[in-house]
Amino acid sequence: MVPIRVAGTGSYVPEKILTNFDLEKSLDTSDEWIVKRTGIRERRVAAPDQAASDLALPACRQAMEAAGVSDRDLDYIIMATVTPDMCCPSGANWLQAKLDAPQAISFDVTAACSGFCFVLDVAMRYMQAGAGKTMLVVASEVMTRVQDWTDRANCILWGDGAGAVVLKAEEGLPQIIETYIGTDGANGQNLLMPGGGSKTTPISYESVDKKLHTLRLIEAAASVRVAVKHFALSVETVLGRRGLKPQDVDLYIPHQANIRMLQSLAKRLDVNFEEKFFITIEKYGNISSASSAIALDEAVRSGRIKPGDLVCVTVFGGGLTWGATLIQF
């Protein structure tokens, strides 16, 4: 197998902070209620002129600088997002132009909150097939643009940001040593955005009035149970392929969905939550596919990840989608 090195990481979050106390002014909610149920205290909000590719650009520049590569070194640019700049062209295409990398092939991957592990898996397989030697993968989301801000159970969860990784087909550490992804389309109806696709009629006053173009979270309690199950399945699968146990992992970088959910995952894996899980949900909320990408970069730059550490990125999202990536630092 062609070795795949994580040559550099990067991340970016917008300057504007939306706190729980800000939400108290417009919603029937409280900081105490939100923190107790989700672990979220604040989230970032993109500026009016910032789209997904705009958030992705500084994250990518940071990752490229860390990797020591230029725009013209890139063979592929793959973006995970459910909130691209527009439906066509892809967010990755907009990013390609901003990076001035016309030689790079660019496209999006849509896998909801699992997107980061999906783009890592896609890029790795392309590289192992000989399609390229240097790939830029990025997860970028502007989730605050697809919210019904009167839906207090859902809108409090989301924020905006981007995380990026440069992968190189070469020996050396950190190295991706295993990936796993999975989907279940038959049971993906609990998190969806009904409007804007070919299933519905074209955008109209009626579809907007019905709020069909905003994100809907249905049966949240059931979703948590399913998520914990598939989080654990993903971890056990990548570790099992290497003959490892959950306790062998030095740090887990989970999708930042809900603090209770992640505590339940740690319990199921029989590992210490405080010691083994890297958490950013308190300050960023849920940034869909970008959550785990941002958390990975922050864990690297803060020194939380040390040489020799075994790190597991694990994700779950709407669709249903799930996955994990095992990285040896």
- The structure tokens listed for 58 are 């500084």
What structural domains and CATH numbers belong to the chain? 5-172 (3.40.47.10), 177-328 (3.40.47.10)
Report which secondary-structure segment, H or E, holds 221.
helix 220-240
Sign of the CA dihedral running 222, 223, 229, 232: negative
- pLDDT tens track, the chain, 329 positions: 899 999 999 999 999 999 999 999 999 899 999 999 999 999 999 999 999 999 999 999 999 999 999 999 999 999 999 999 998 999 999 999 999 999 999 999 999 999 999 999 999 999 999 999 999 999 999 999 988 888 888 899 999 999 999 999 999 999 999 999 999 888 767 676 777 777 776 787 777 777 777 777 765 555 667 888 889 999 999 999 999 999 999 999 999 999 999 999 999 999 999 999 999 999 999 999 999 999 999 999 999 999 999 999 999 988 889 999 999 99
Question: What pLDDT was estimated at residue 202?
Answer: 74
| CA geometry: angle 83, 84, 87, nearest 5 deg | 110
Within 13 Å, how many C-alpha atoms sit on residue 282's CB side?
A: 4
Question: What pLDDT was estimated at residue 81?
Answer: 97
Question: What pLDDT was estimated at residue 208?
Answer: 79
Judged on CB neighbours under 10 Å (0-12, 13-18, 19+), 308 is exposed
- The structure tokens listed for 277 are 């899980």
CB 85 within 8 A of CB 51: yes
Q: Which amino acid is at 290?
A: A
Rounded to a whole number, what is the distance in angstroms from the first to the last CA of the chain? 18
328: helix, coil or strand? strand
CB 233 within 8 A of CB 183: no
CA 178 remoteness from chain centre: 18
Residue partners of 150: CB distance under 8 A and separation at least 6? 27
Question: What pLDDT was estimated at residue 180?
Answer: 96
Task: Please tell me the pTM assigned to this model.
Answer: 0.94
Question: What pLDDT was estimated at residue 289?
Answer: 96
Does the N-terminal peptide bond of residue 173 adopt cis geometry, omega within 30 degrees of 0?
no
In whole angstroms, how far apart are CA 211 and each of 58, 147, 151, 259, 312?
32, 9, 11, 28, 37
Task: List residues with catalytic annotation.
Answer: 113, 255, 286
Report which secondary-structure segment, H or E, holds 52.
helix 52-67
Q: Which amino acid is at 239?
A: L
